[in-house]
Amino acid sequence: MNLIPLPAFQDNYLWLLHDGQRALVVDPGDAEPVRKFLTERGLQLEAILVTHHHPDHIGGLDALRDATGARVYGPARERIPQPLEPLSEGDRIEVLGLSFEVFDVPGHTAGHIAYFCKDVDDAPLLFCGDTLFSGGCGRLFEGTPAQMLVSLEKLAALPGTTRVCCTHEYTLSNLKFATAVEAGNLQLEHYRQQCEQRRSHGEPTLPSTIALERSINPFLRTGIPAVARAAHDHSGADEADPVAVFAALRQWKNGFR
Ligand SMILES: [Zn+2]
Ligand SMILES: [Zn+2]
């Protein structure tokens, strides 16, 4: 299987998975880069997987469906252009001969879902939309900090080797914030240097892995004393309350430059 991040807009990746003949694409905000790639490689688009309703994730949906006849899967609880197979927690879909499990991950939007396959060429794969980013997480447009924390904990509990396919290249700015929160984290510093190098060569920093995110992403580290202390020092959050720590971090990040 080939896993390709097709760049779109400012900083989106349209993730495409293919076996040389058949392909799936996740959150096609723009149909054009996808159509071009399919044509160049002679690929048949079998399925479109949607994580949430934001325009930069569904903008190319109708055009791609019409051009390819691909089957569309998406969140049951959001308004997505029809026809669509509605999915929610516990559902499974078979695409490209792979079995994907669906998780509800509300927070960024109310009905946001994620797709997890436990074995793609010997490693698990996660398409998490705008819920988890490398070094960060999505803004809370429709959900509460408590909801988002549960969603992130669900993803953090996946196997460490899981490749994390996030939809935006926000890594460097996220790591700048992560460093402000947890300056003494050596793995974070090392990863930041690696990502700076990749970006300076125009390469994506993604996919990340769950193991890496657990060790560097402050939003998955609300229970780590240094992180909780930083949230407390910044806005007085109760260090013993992960939801308060998470809410303080998210608020802090919103105004961080
Ligand atoms: Zn979004
Ligand atoms: Zn987005």
Using alpha carbons, list the distances in angstroms from residue 62 to 11, 34, 86, 88. Answer: 22, 13, 16, 22
Q: Is 130 annotated as catalytic?
A: yes
Work out the mean pLDDT of the chain and round it to a whole number.
98
What is the per-residue pLDDT across 187-214, written as a single tens digit (0 to 9) for each?
A: 999 999 999 999 999 999 999 999 999 9
Per-residue model confidence (pLDDT) at position 239: 97
DSSP structure class, residue 19: -
Under the banding of pLDDT at 50, 70 and 90, the label for residue 153 is: very high
Q: What is the pLDDT of residues 107-151, one digit of tens each?
A: 999 999 999 999 999 999 999 999 999 999 999 999 999 999 999
Phi, psi (degrees; rounded to nearest 5) at 198: -60, -45
Contact 64, 29 (CB under 8 A): no
56 counts as catalytic: yes
Q: Note if 108 is an active site residue.
A: yes
Q: Could you tell me the strand order of the sheet in which 22-26 lies?
A: 2-8, 12-18, 22-26, 44-49, 71-75, 85-87
Are the C-beta atoms of 16 and 34 separated by less than 8 Å?
Answer: yes
What single-letter DSSP state applies at residue 108? S
Name the catalytic one among 18, 53, 112, 168.
168
Interval 4-19: pLDDT, tens:
999 999 999 999 999 9
Tokens encoding 154: 């669900």
What is the average pLDDT across 96-106? 98
Beta bridge partner(s), residue 13: 7
pLDDT-derived band at 44 (thresholds 50, 70, 90) equals very high
Q: Position 42: which residue type?
A: G
Identify the nearest ligand to the CA of 26 by its number. 2
57 alpha carbon, closest ligand: 2
Catalytic-role residue among 53, 57, 104, 112: 57
pLDDT tens per residue across span 158-182: 999 999 999 999 999 999 999 999 9
Q: Is the dihedral of CA 157, 163, 168, 172 positive or negative?
A: positive
Distance 79 CA to ligand 1 centre (A): 13
Catalytic residue at 168? yes
How far apart, in whole angstroms, are the C-alpha atoms of residue 191 and residue 194?
Answer: 5
* Alpha-carbon gap, residue 121 to 103, rounded angstroms: 21
**What pLDDT sits at residue 28?**
98
State yes or no: is 54 an active-site residue.
yes
- Listing DSSP states for 24-50 in one string gives EEE--S-HHHHHHHHHHHT-EEEEEE-
Confidence class for position 57, pLDDT limits 50, 70, 90: very high
Sign of torsion over alpha carbons 166, 155, 59, 1 = positive
* Cα(166) to centroid(ligand 2), Å: 9
Closest CA to 113 of 69, 151, 166, 168: 151
Note the pLDDT of residue 157: 98
CB 110 within 8 A of CB 78: yes
* C-alpha span between 257 and 254 (Å, rounded): 9
Q: Which pLDDT score is estimated for 66?
A: 96
Smallest Cα–Cα separation from 227: which of 218, 236, 235? 218
- Of the residues 52, 53, 104, 112, only one is catalytic, namely 52
For residue 252, what pLDDT band results from cuts at 50, 70 and 90?
very high
Quote the ligand 1 centre to 54 CA distance (angstroms). Answer: 5
57 CA from centroid of ligand 2 (Å): 6
Share of the chain above pLDDT 90, in %: 100
Q: Is 52 a catalytic residue?
A: yes
Catalytic hit among 18, 56, 104, 112:
56
